[in-house]
Structure 1
């Protein structure tokens, strides 16, 4: 199973800091490239630029929660939710796996 994780492209987990404006305030966000790629895909599907999508998301969180504690973490979790809803299940690694742990009854 570790091959599934160990053989991913290094580019995916290299981080990049991007500067942007959210509600008129300049800020920077540091995320791994895989998350930037996913956010760009989500923004594109919403017919928005990445900056517009991030501003929209930030505003919606403010409206819903009153504040945003950790926007970078929110973005990572949003990407995970998006990927879990759009991913095709391919359990190839399970076929090669040895014995599996089974919950005790």
Structure 2
């Protein structure tokens, strides 16, 4: 069983840094490549690009909780929640008004 986890391609957990605009400010986010792939899947379910999804998410978090101390950790947790809950977790919010 551990062999399955131990044999993961090192490229999947290599870091990748991407530049993103959050609230009009340019910043960079450094995540493992596997998390970027999951964020791409989540963003697709929202009909958004990854930068737009992350920017929208950041704005909503600020509105709900104020500044997030470790936004990259929050992004990793979002990925895990999406995996744990399956496709319905990433379904577009039906409360949004078009």
Superposition TM-score tier, normalisation by shorter sequence: 0.7 to 0.9
Offset of residue 4 of structure 1: 2.2
Partner residue in 1 for 2:50? 50
2:10 alignment partner in structure 1: 10
Give distance in 2, aligned partners of 1:85 and 1:3: 25
Give the Cα–Cα distance (whole angstroms) in 2 for the partners of residues 21 and 35 of structure 1: 19
Pairs within 5 Å for 1:1-105: 1-86=1-86
CA distance in 1, matches of 2:27, 2:73: 15
Corresponding residue pairs, total: 87
Runs of 4+ aligned residues of structure 1 deviating over 2 Å after TM superposition are none
Q: TM-score, normalised by structure 1?
A: 0.78
Q: How many angstroms apart in 2 are the aligned matches of 1:31 and 1:53?
A: 15
Q: Deviations over 1:56-76 (max 9, x none)?
A: 110111011011111100000
* Unmatched tracts of structure 1, length 5 or more: 88-105
- Runs of at least 5 residues in structure 2 that lack an aligned partner in the other structure: 88-98
Equivalent position SS for 2:31: strand
RMSD: 1.2
